[in-house]
Amino acid sequence: APLPLRHHHLKSFQLPRRGDPYTGRVPLMFNVDMTCSRCRPATAMAAGYDFYRNGQSDDIIFVWGGGGWLETNFGRLRYRQDDYIVIPRGTIYRLVPDDIAKEDYLILESAHPVRIPARYLHPEGQIRMGAPYSERDFHGPTELGPTEQEGDFAILLKDRARLTKVVMASHPFDVVGWDGYLYPFTFNANDFEPLTGTVHLPPPIHQTFEIRGYVVCTFAPRWLDHHPEAVKVPWAHDNTEADEVLFYVRGQFGSRKGVEPGSFTLHPQGIPHGPHPGTTLKSFDAQRTEELAVMFDTQYPLQLTPEALAMDDPDYPLSWLG
């Protein structure tokens, strides 16, 4: 039977380590446009294959913990904590962590390409002045390192839910050069430059990426609204066109009680939500927040997986009672 329409609080902090960054992904919610997973890998690469390729989705890997190298057929790229790693579909890659015990990811698999929001771009494609980031904040591969080697090189290929092992007779990184505008890159959440105003500004000011069917936003550390009577938390509101998901990275989120790093809140379209009791008055004295969170809003409703329901707090819808 379908679940009743209600708010959800998923606690993923204690998710057990399993698999590698590809087979260890635990899907939590999905719709036709995207799948959201958590991953706490136990090993950098499982036996039986050497590389990974997502054949039908762009990967957005938010690095909640850890750091290392992303190796691809476009070259090598360093990644670190709080990076978004954006990997276009069809890229052959592998993550090489510095310390697998520290690796911890939020992964969004997108059925459509990941783009910079159109309103941040000039007609010629350059990022506008006044956008919350610039070209210098995006980092592509810098070390090509062609590998001329023959043998059996196994690639784990994913298309939707199916995994297939493909074996190549030469190393997939045997590349001496490439050209074009589509390649993997990183963007660190701490390089996002938030906007503030005299009163509370709406969530689109936090938008980071644009994908058909959903958007990704970054709630970065920032100064709060500076009008002397400003309410510095989001007002009570009703999502009429989107499911709203927040992944709490660190810090104290001003409008929520009981959430912790690693929590997800899902506030679906059709029913209202807002600050928890007591947080509005408390916000009047706040000057700044050090919170960091990743939000994604989807056009179509999200379905929760059994793994998500197992970590759901059934009392969360009652938390607005005080």
Q: For 12-30, what is the mean pLDDT?
A: 96
Let me know if 93 is exposed, middle or buried by CB neighbors in 10 A (0-12, 13-18, 19+): buried
If pLDDT is split at 50, 70 and 90, which confidence band does 131 have? very high
DSSP H or E stretch at residue 249: strand 243-250
What pLDDT, in 10s, does the model give residues 137-157? 999 998 888 888 999 999 999
Give the pLDDT confidence score for residue 35 in this predicted structure. 97
- Does 270 score more than 80 pLDDT? yes
Give the pLDDT confidence score for residue 254 in this predicted structure. 65
If pLDDT is split at 50, 70 and 90, which confidence band does 277 have? confident
If pLDDT is split at 50, 70 and 90, which confidence band does 1 have? low
- Does 232 score more than 80 pLDDT? no
Q: Which residue has the tokens 């092992």?
A: 165
CA atoms within 13 A of residue 53's CA, in its CB half-sphere: 20
Give the pLDDT confidence score for residue 245 in this predicted structure. 97
CB-based contacts of 43: which residues, under 8 Å, 6+ apart? Answer: 19, 20, 100
Domains annotated for the chain, with CATH where assigned, are: 13-189 (2.60.120.10), 193-321 (2.60.120.10)
309: number of Cβ within 10 Å: 13
Q: Supply the pTM of this predicted model.
A: 0.95
